[in-house]
Amino acid sequence: MKDPKSARRFVKPYRIVDGRGFRLTDHAPADTGRLESHQEKKAKEQLENGLELLADYQRMLYAQDRWSLLLIFQAMDAAGKDGTIKHVMSGVDPHGVQVYSFKAPSDEELDHDYLWRCARNLPERGRIGIFNRSYYEEVLIVRVHAEILARQKLPPSMITGKLWEERYEDIRNFERYLSRQGVVIRKFFLHVSNAEQKRRFQARLDEPEKNWKFSERDVAERRSWDDYQHAYEDAIRATATKHAPWYVIPADHKWFTRLAVAAAIVDTLASLELHYPVIDAARRKALEAARRELLRS
């Protein structure tokens, strides 16, 4: 990934801007694009180049203070969200990044609409905001587990057969509104296979240093694998738009996942035509005066 154009070409196959006809089975979790498994070293070199570009763009984003970038990460357990976020954002100035991990809603959050807790944590202008899970949980885990919906205190008349379609509509409208305010939205589904998830869970049990990552709930959730796949497919199909596209990123090979995510972010930031603020004549004159004063001190 030497430049933004190569980043765009690299990530284009994984970008979904129109969900009509989308099928999750058309996307292979073990795909590595044009890179073979023995080219992992080459991929890491490309990732380093991409991270340098990302750092440059992030500085301009911060200095320009016009746009904000919201990156949403969704995935099945053990797909590698945390590691991907950590590696891809490793070279970015932490002052310009805000990361929020959304867990089960608190009592306070349940007393508000389901978008509230995410809306109050949106990134400021000039910053990159990362949502590790998001309001999409409301059409994923809540759809798979009806008992969660029962705890959300909705008036009974609001729970109809059109509930999920209404939530998709709410999300589309919310994202459209944000895009009109200068919030650039990019959504990532890290697509891991059932077999690879099982292997990673097994590693968490077999390797003592990974035991802390394992939860008995992980195994229980695997029983709902097919339900989750259908929920993700429907959500992506209903909410993929040009202004808030989904990226269905193959996640069986972590080295490729990180490269693809970095390429998508570089491509996005490059499209904003970012630049450092232009200094006008009055400001330049003031800076020169400050320079002379500094030299005299």
**Mean pLDDT of the region 135-142:** 98
Residue 214 has pLDDT above 80, yes or no: no
CB of 24 closer than 8 Å to CB of 232: yes
Tens-place pLDDT, residues 155-210 = 999 999 999 999 999 999 999 999 999 999 999 999 999 999 999 999 999 888 88
- Tokens 């994984």 locate to 14
Going from the C-alpha of 227 to that of each of 139, 144, 231, 239, 281, the distances in angstroms are: 12, 6, 6, 18, 62
Q: Which domains does the chain have, with CATH numbers?
A: 4-296 (3.40.50.300)
pLDDT band at 67; cut points 50, 70, 90: very high
* pLDDT at residue 1, as a whole number: 65
Going from the C-alpha of 6 to that of each of 85, 105, 168, 263, 264, the distances in angstroms are: 21, 40, 33, 8, 11
* pLDDT at residue 275, as a whole number: 94
**Amino acid identity at 52:** E
Q: Is 292 helix (H, G, I), strand (E, B) or coil?
A: helix
* Strands of 46-109, DSSP E: 68-75, 97-101
- Closest of 159, 67, 180 to residue 114, by C-alpha: 159
CB of 265 closer than 8 Å to CB of 58: no
Q: Which residue has the higher pLDDT, 211 or 110?
A: 110
Distance from CA of residue 179 to its chain's centroid? 15
Average pLDDT over the chain reads: 93
Range from 36-40, 52-56, 227-231 carrying the lowest mean pLDDT: 36-40
- Closest of 73, 5, 10 to residue 42, by C-alpha: 10
**Mean pLDDT of the region 95-107:** 93
CB of 64 closer than 8 Å to CB of 127: no
Q: Report how far apart the first and last C-alpha atoms of the chain are (Å, whole number).
A: 46
Neighbours of 192 (CB within 10 A): 25
Tens-place pLDDT, residues 254-279 = 999 999 999 999 999 999 989 998 88
Q: C-alpha dihedral over 212, 218, 219, 221, to 10 degrees?
A: 170
Q: Which residue has the higher pLDDT, 118 or 287?
A: 118
Residue 38 has pLDDT above 70, yes or no: no
Q: Cα(52)–Cα(258) distance, rounded to whole angstroms?
A: 14
